[in-house]
Structure 1
Amino acid sequence: MNTFASRTGVVVGLDDSAPVSAAVGWAVEYARGHHLPLRVVAAGRSGGAAERRRELLDLTVLLCRSTALGLPVSGCVAEGEMPAALIEAAHGPEILVVGGRENVPVERILAAASCPVVVVRSARWPNPASPVVVGLDGSDADDAPLSLAFDVAAHTVAPLVAVHARCEPVHRGVTPEATVERLRSWGEKYPRVSVRCTDAHDRAVPAILADAKVAGLVVVGPAGPGGIVRHLVHEAACPVLVACGAPELVGARS
C-alpha cells in the first residue's frame, strides 16, 4: 500500500543561495516523519538566471531524494518572482515551509495562507532536549496550534511547553485553569507527550522569545497571544509554525 497516496504534501520555497537550505532540510524531516510527499518550488523570470535556478532545483530534488530514501520529491519552476509563487503555493498543501531571508514577505504569505506555514531561520528540529513551545491565549482558537504542536512533539519525542498569555481584549471565562483543562484534553490524545504549562500574564513576547532560545519549534495561531506572530517570525531563534487556515482543517491534519 502506498502510504503517500492522496496526500497533498509539503511545499517548500527554494532559497537561491544553496541547494539544501535550513528550510529545505526542515521540510524533508517533516515530510519524512509524516509520510507526506515533498514539492520544492523555485521561481523567476526566463533567461540565464532561470537556467541556473533550474539547475539548482534539480540538484535540490536529487539531494532530498538521497537524504530521505523512498520519499516522493518533485520540483517545479513557477513563473514570476518568489513572493508571488509562495503566496500561490500557500493554497493546497498540508504545510508550507519558507526561509527567513529578509526578502521573503512573511506577513503577506501568512495573510494569504490557507494552510499552516513554517518560517525557518535556523536548522533546529525538536528533540527530547529541545521542546516544542506553543503560545496560547485561552480562547477556542488555541485548538489549531495545539493540534500541530502535539503532533510534532509526538513525532519527535520532544516535550511540549505551553505558554499562556493573558491578552486584551480578555476572552470571557478565560483563565490559566481553563488552559490547563484544554491541555489535559489534548494530552489524553497524546499520552506519551510530556507537557508543562507556564503563565506569561501579559508578557507573551519576551516569554516565548526566551523559550525559543532553547526550543526546537514555536507554534502559534495566526493572531497569536498578544499579537506576537510578527515578532516571532523575525526574532525567534528557532523555526516558527503558524497555524494558518480554518481551525477545523488544521486540527484534522496528522
Structure 2
Amino acid sequence: MNTHSSVVVGVDGSGPAFDAVRWAAAEAALRGVPLLLAAVYALPLEPLGMVVAPPSYFEDQALAGRHLLDEATELATDAAKEFGGVAIRTALSGGRPVPVLLELSLTAGLVVLGSRGLGEIAGGLVGSVSSAVATHAHCPVVVIRGLPGPDAPPLDGPVVVGTDGSEHSEPAIAEAVQFASRRGADLTAVHAWTDLNLATAFDIGADDSILEWPAVAAAEEAVLAERLAGWKERYPDVSMRRVVVRDRPVRELARLAEGAQLLVVGSRGRGGFKGMLLGSTSRALLHLVDGPLMIVRGGD
C-alpha cells in the first residue's frame, strides 16, 4: 500500500454511497492521507437511451453534482472529527462512472463505493458500477452495503481475512493486518485448503474418514501459521486467530463477516486466472456480505 495515496470515494447521492463517504473519511483520517470525493455526471455526447436530452439537462446534472459534493464534504468532515480530521478534495467529472473511477484507482491507495447507486434495482445484489470497479481497479476496493447509523454503536468486531495459502493471499493479509492495527481490532484469518466441495467431489457423503481430515487439518494449520508469522512479528499489537476450513470458504467467510469491522479477500485465489477478473469467492461475497468488504488484487 502506498501510504501517501489518497482514499477515493464515489459519491452519487444514494444511501450506500453516503455510508461509503462516512467509512472512507474515517479510514483516510486513520491512514493520514487525503480523502477525494468523486462525482460523475453525464456529458452531452453520452447516450441516454433513445432520449435526446436538451443541453440544460447536462448543466443541471453538473450543478447537482457540485451540490452533492458539498453535502458529502460536510458529512465526511463530521465523520473524520473523532479520528483527528482529514484533508478533503473533490472531483466532479463528466463521463461514465466506471472509467472515471478506474482512472482514479491508478494513483489511489483505496477506492470506496456504495454497493448500489441511484437508479439501480434495490435488493441484495451489488450494483453494476461497484462490481465493475471491484473487478478492474488498480488498487484495493471496499464495497459498503450498509453501516450503523451515525448515532448507533460502530462496528467493533474483528477484521476477517480469507487466505488459501497461495501467494495471491499475501496482499489481502497485508491490508487486513494493517487495517486491524489502525483500528485496534483483532484479526481472524480463514484458510481454505481446497476450492472443491469434498463430499460431492469424492461422493463420500457424511463419512469423510477416507480424507484423513485430522492430518490434513494439522498440515493446513501449519501453512496458515507460517503465512501469519511474519506479520505477527511486525504487528505484535494485533491478536490473530486462525480458522481452517476444509471446503469452499464462501459460507464460512460470510458467517464470520457478520459483525466484523471488515472482510478482506483477494481478487482471485490459487485456482483463478491471471488478469483482473474476480475469482468465484470474491464475486460471491460481493453479493452476500452485508458489512464492509475489501477486495485486494494479488500480483499478476
TM-score (norm 1): 0.85
Alignment of 1:1-254 (within 5 A): 7-17=4-14, 21-45=18-42, 46-68=58-80, 70-101=85-116, 102-123=126-147, 127=156, 130-168=157-195, 175-224=220-269, 227-244=280-297, 246=299
Distance 1:176 1:18 in 2: 41
State which drifts further: 204-213 or 61-70: 61-70
Choose 1 or 2 for highest CA Rg: 2
Task: Rate the CA distance shift 1:8–1:58 in 2: closer, same or farther, 3 A.
Answer: same
Residue 95 of structure 1 contacts residue 116 of structure 1 at CA under 8 Å; is this kept in 2? yes
Residue 111 of structure 2 contacts residue 142 of structure 2 at CA under 8 Å; is this kept in 1? yes
Residue 13 of structure 1 contacts residue 41 of structure 1 at CA under 8 Å; is this kept in 2? yes
Q: Could you say what the CA RMSD is over the residues aligned between the two structures, in angstroms?
A: 2.3
Distance 1:13 1:161 in 2: 29
Distance 2:250 2:61 in 1: 40
Task: Rate the CA distance shift 1:188–1:19 in 2: closer, same or farther, 3 A.
Answer: closer
Q: Secondary structure at the match of 2:251?
A: helix
Residue 16 of structure 2 contacts residue 144 of structure 2 at CA under 8 Å; is this kept in 1? no
Q: Which runs of 4+ in 1 moved over 6 A?
A: none
Alpha-carbon deviations, 1:172-214, whole Å to 9, x = none? Answer: xx83311112112211111111111111111301100100112
Alpha-carbon deviations, 1:52-100, whole Å to 9, x = none? Answer: 1211112212332344354110111111122232222221101111110
Residue 10 of structure 1 contacts residue 94 of structure 1 at CA under 8 Å; is this kept in 2? yes
Shift of 1:105: 2.7
Distance 1:137 1:184 in 2: 15
Task: Rate the CA distance shift 1:100–1:162 in 2: closer, same or farther, 3 A.
Answer: same
Task: Rate the CA distance shift 1:20–1:109 in 2: closer, same or farther, 3 A.
Answer: closer
Residue 110 of structure 1 contacts residue 244 of structure 1 at CA under 8 Å; is this kept in 2? no
Q: Secondary structure at the match of 1:68?
A: helix
Residue 90 of structure 1 contacts residue 112 of structure 1 at CA under 8 Å; is this kept in 2? no
Q: Which amino acid aligns with 2:36?
A: R
Q: Secondary structure at the match of 1:60?
A: helix
- Tell me which residue corresponds to 1:250: none
Distance 2:105 2:194 in 1: 29
State which drifts further: 96-105 or 73-82: 96-105
Q: Which amino acid aligns with 1:231?
A: A
Aligned length: 236
Shift of 1:18: 5.4
Q: Which amino acid aligns with 2:255?
A: A
- Tell me which residue corresponds to 1:251: none
Residue 19 of structure 1 contacts residue 60 of structure 1 at CA under 8 Å; is this kept in 2? no
TM-score (norm 2): 0.72
Distance 1:118 1:224 in 2: 18
Structure 2 gap segments, 5+ residues each: 43-57, 117-125, 149-153, 197-218, 271-278
